[in-house]
Amino acid sequence: MLSAAAFAEGIFIKSAELLPADGGYTLEVRYDVDLSPTLEDALVRGLGLTFLAEFELVYPRWWTLNFWNKTLATRRAVHRLSYNALTRQYRLSSGGFHQTFDNVEAALAVLGRIRFNPAVLDQALEPGTVYIANVRLRLDTGKLPKPLQLDAIGSRDWNLSSDWYRWTFRP
């Protein structure tokens, strides 16, 4: 039986883990990304959508009631999804890397695979200490044209974001 999230638009986390790598840890996250009909229509009409993937690793300080936790690592990645009406292809860009797709589902599947290598270096961590890792993926409404930013303030169609996903990590 499928969950209700499988039929709803939005960004839902499937998995997230920090894996050992040379000199540190690599973050691998999988999201299920579904655009609302409003966003899909805007994309096909030529509006590029900018997504922001965010990661942070925090050392919790319980003696300060977690108000002044120590952030050990933060990573951000910007991905831009656009549609070219002339070639009828979707384009996903990240930095200098571009990839084209024949349909939006394929582009969203690649957008939903986030990897930071390295996410955190070994020298920032102490073995046996418990840390809190946080990840999320969201549509960056600040990159929309100004008139649409106003629409995005009160509309669920324009506010596409996963919740912060948190888990404990012990190196």
Confidence at residue 158, expressed as pLDDT on a 0 to 100 scale: 79
The two tokens of residue 128 are 């046996």
Q: 4: pLDDT confidence band, cut at 50, 70 and 90?
A: very low
pLDDT digit string, tens, across residues 84-103? 999 999 999 998 899 999 99
pLDDT digit string, tens, across residues 139-166? 998 888 877 766 667 677 778 899 999 9
- How many distinct structural domains can be found in the chain? 1
Q: Which of 4, 9, 26 is nearest to 108 (CA)?
A: 9
Question: Which whole number is the average pLDDT over 61-88?
Answer: 87
Give the span between the Cα atoms of 93 and 97, in whole angstroms: 6
Q: Is the pLDDT score of 5 beyond 60?
A: no
114: in domain: yes
Confidence at residue 65, expressed as pLDDT on a 0 to 100 scale: 62
42: in domain: yes
1: in domain: no
Contact 18, 25 (CB under 8 A): yes
Q: Which residue has the higher pLDDT, 74 or 62?
A: 74
161: in domain: yes
Give the span between the Cα atoms of 82 and 118, in whole angstroms: 28
H helical segments located in 21-145: 37-44, 104-111
Residue range(s) defining the domain that contains residue 114: 23-169
